[in-house]
Structure 1
């Protein structure tokens, strides 16, 4: 790293450290400012392994100021960040905008409508995050309805039902009721019969291609004027499974000359030969299309507000035809744009993730490289952090970008104060430069770093030195130069080893000596699973004494969830900086 880059990194770090300390009214942490620093300054990324060592002294200097000095210094360096702090203090606590006409209803009733064709990817979290938050805002009611009426193209995964409910619980919500659409076929059949009697539906045996030609030209299907009795008989034959797939459908009679061809006489029921995977539904062959099924259920369950993607605007218009036949009032609808996340190489697509798992490219839904809820959960990220980030996106009809840094920032706020610190020296893996083992002499037998820098009352860790310590390659001092081994003291590089100097902490405060982490060469080996691939190295011995599922912060590396401490190497999952 040249001097210009180092100077830029120090200046940017000081601004971020000042802002972080003032925002949270506590000491700034290197890990907490690394994410924003790298995100705002992409030119630093090639120096990723060196940046932490450069900014650590800056952070320590900032933490030595009182609040007034920090604010004065931030105003001098970046007055707009002080304005940002003041604006945040004045901000309303309500994240989401008001639901339309909510005051007109005795109770706000909303629904989640997942298709259980696999566990949830990260984008799926937006629906429970927003609807669950609205439920809390209005003291409302929330339904989870599994829209599982497509046993062929979006075939349900039997494990996904419980996995999705578990994900909702992880995000911090509990549905007031859970139903499966595949349990309700007779309900849909009864409403189809009523619709036929009202003259609102007809059976059609046109091929898809021939009907499409008629529809696009605004011409009626030749079956459109069948008498009700014939339609009823043919629909009962559909229910009894007497037709093959593609042989007969039931269509809702709309406006064959409607300006939008997609709304002209749409399909309500079709025949599917593939049995449903649920034993309770395997006998059925006549299945409702989603627009018919969900429209009926929304009314019967008293849904007052629907949130759906803007690409589903036609669904509301199709369902409105059905509602008009029955004399029902359509719920309020909010259409939102798609959420996009660009931090992953794997697309947010259930089918694509399944393909990559089956091909062995991912180890499972909780692989850290997978853009899934299960992955974030295994990495030690709390559901609340995801919910807050998703809710902050609001319900705009425009597509929105979710920065993973916002989830990480939220999670950091939740876990930082309670998370113990530990050392992990990276040897091999993406973004690492390797590690160097060096003999050490002249100092104490062990380092005694704080368990948590903000809580001296929680004590100190005992990290034995042994005959050799390991440092990350970028932290190894040149011959004759000094570094401060955190929790141990100042050492100088002499003859390929490290010799304690006896200097006190003033050499760090004065900016002459960098602070680095370390581990005894005989420490336990650990494999850290990250979004970029696995990183292996050596940890301080106390790491393997924790309970599995504990979150720790590897100093100058980031937060990680301890996953398997009985294996060799032990395994942890990287959460975030």
Structure 2
């Protein structure tokens, strides 16, 4: 290696090392820069064995600089890379990436198109969270369209229409329009008639197996070239219900030799014998497939941007055939990967959750163990916390994982400041208090807000403490608000109120409730119900209050009964 080449390698290595260190806010290393270094400088490859040694020395010098020094040096040798770093920082600060070609539209119009076959699980919340956020960012328009044109395999749940709208409201958004596809059958029929007139569709009575064999062999269906009048008449018979399920379909005429068999002459309408559960739609038997119905509605409603799962890429390709026949412009499409949510043992599937409810393994859609929006709402998690977490996932085509810890962190910021504190003891063990201890504890309602005052907890003659907090014989504990006690003779002997026992000697501070004057509480959690006792003032809380049980976590008050208060555990 000559001196000129060595100097060139040192310069390039320094540039990449500076960029890498600034981008990741850490020290650079040889392994991280070798890829871009060799990729941009193919002439270095014949010296691949020597380059790590040369680059290593440069990297060592780079890592001795502070952040400001690295930035100044990178600006000297490659100002464009500094601009790239700044652009990435701006991108990171954005809530979501820019919508493609947004400036070409007078108004951004997006739609959320749920199938109302059941209440929403957590994953469903991503779509309205992102679309609603885009609406706010662009001062756009937001449609909720219920795609309920499959009354058999994805049979609508009559309660789900309202449940889903409640979930969208819970997440913090209000649609500009709500529509139901099963109200629009005549619109779809009219567009099918126009498509037939254009020679873009034909009726087909092949069995599914027969057509599949033809399609896979790239051979045309024998009905493909029937005349328009025959197709029109047979389609009208479909609308009139003259055929049974499986006897006749209407197909969109595409390219029978298309490289993707899934796009060859796809079904636009089929017959379904099962009546729709909505009274307004129960007489219909000829139903559009989702790709046809959705494509028509997106155009008629002026949708500019569609977000859909990456597994639905073929939908856009199918719909483009219809749009080409009508000479329509297809909306911008963003495909994203699926979202998985940790912490749940139950599959995020509407049908799976429904089956568990039917079997009695879940109490309902809002059971704390269910991965549903109804469940987290009942637990006291605010919709804003979920929306923020979902938006934070972006719109990547890769599958993404939503950590519930992120939702909890968001929610903690929202509720912590307002949540009063209370003592709650699980599996309580009773201990007598002996010695001249205070008769009443007065801990703060909220440790960060002295102006909210204190709460009053009578000590009485005995207290309940959690079994895990029982000290060994002879050891001490600090009963919060009362003072220091030593475990002796199966009682707690008061030893004083010198806080140095906690600060200097490491005595544990624990919560407690009086053995007599307390409140019975059932706390519902993802792991089952927990019974316990709370301090007497907890009886004054109201349903829907969010409070913090000290050393346990936040809970939502679900019901107030004479014998028991039921709470739902939110998070720690």
Q: Name 1:396's counterpart in structure 2.
A: 396
In the alignment, which of 514, 518, 525 is matched to residue 508 of structure 2? Answer: 514
Q: Please show how residues 108-507 of structure 1 align to structure 2 within 5 Å.
A: 108-427=108-427, 435-441=428-434, 442-507=436-501
1:559 matched to 2:554: yes
Tell me the TM-score normalized by structure 2.
0.83
Deviations 1:5-53 (A, max 9, x none): xxxxxxxxxxxxxxxxxxxxxxxxxxxxxxxxxxxxxxxxxxxxxxxxx
Shift of 1:512: 2.2
Taking the aligned partners of 1:363 and 1:556, their CA distance within structure 2 comes to 28
Kept after mapping to 1: 8 A contact 2:91/2:97: no
Shift of 1:574: 0.2
The SS at the match of 2:417 is: helix
Kept after mapping to 2: 8 A contact 1:440/1:497: yes
Taking the aligned partners of 2:402 and 2:189, their CA distance within structure 1 comes to 41
Taking the aligned partners of 1:147 and 1:505, their CA distance within structure 2 comes to 64
Taking the aligned partners of 1:301 and 1:217, their CA distance within structure 2 comes to 38
Taking the aligned partners of 2:283 and 2:129, their CA distance within structure 1 comes to 36
Relative distance call for 1:91 and 1:186 in structure 2 (3 A) is: closer
In the alignment, which of 564, 567, 570 is matched to residue 572 of structure 1? Answer: 567
Unaligned runs of at least 5 residues, structure 2? 1-65, 68-85
Kept after mapping to 1: 8 A contact 2:425/2:532: yes
Q: Which moved more, 1:544-553 or 1:499-508?
A: 499-508
Deviations 1:62-103 (A, max 9, x none): xxxxxxxxxxxxxxxxx99xxxxxx9x999642211111111
Unaligned runs of at least 5 residues, structure 1? 1-78, 81-86, 428-434
Kept after mapping to 1: 8 A contact 2:543/2:560: yes
The SS at the match of 2:425 is: strand
1:545 matched to 2:540: yes
Tell me the TM-score normalized by structure 1.
0.83
Q: Name 1:48's counterpart in structure 2.
A: none
Q: Which runs of 4+ in 1 moved over 2 A?
A: 89-94
Taking the aligned partners of 1:110 and 1:507, their CA distance within structure 2 comes to 62
The SS at the match of 2:274 is: coil
**Higher RCO, Cα 8 Å, sep 6+:** 1
Taking the aligned partners of 2:463 and 2:266, their CA distance within structure 1 comes to 72
Q: Name 2:523's counterpart in structure 1.
A: 528
The SS at the match of 1:525 is: strand
Deviations 1:79-128 (A, max 9, x none): 99xxxxxx9x9996422111111111110000000000111111100000
Deviations 1:305-343 (A, max 9, x none): 000000000000000000000000000000000000131
Taking the aligned partners of 1:462 and 1:93, their CA distance within structure 2 comes to 46
Taking the aligned partners of 2:284 and 2:418, their CA distance within structure 1 comes to 53
Taking the aligned partners of 1:334 and 1:486, their CA distance within structure 2 comes to 55
Taking the aligned partners of 2:182 and 2:284, their CA distance within structure 1 comes to 9
Deviations 1:520-568 (A, max 9, x none): 1221121110011111111111112111110000011000001112153
Find the structure with the greater CA-based Rg.
2
Q: Name 2:29's counterpart in structure 1.
A: none
Kept after mapping to 1: 8 A contact 2:473/2:488: yes
Shift of 1:485: 1.0
Kept after mapping to 2: 8 A contact 1:450/1:487: no
Taking the aligned partners of 1:109 and 1:161, their CA distance within structure 2 comes to 22
Deviations 1:164-192 (A, max 9, x none): 10110111000000000000000000000
Q: Name 2:25's counterpart in structure 1.
A: none
Shift of 1:511: 4.4
Taking the aligned partners of 1:255 and 1:92, their CA distance within structure 2 comes to 43
Note the aligned Cα RMSD (angstroms). 1.7
Q: Name 2:73's counterpart in structure 1.
A: none
Kept after mapping to 2: 8 A contact 1:110/1:141: yes
Kept after mapping to 2: 8 A contact 1:449/1:488: no
Q: Name 1:23's counterpart in structure 2.
A: none
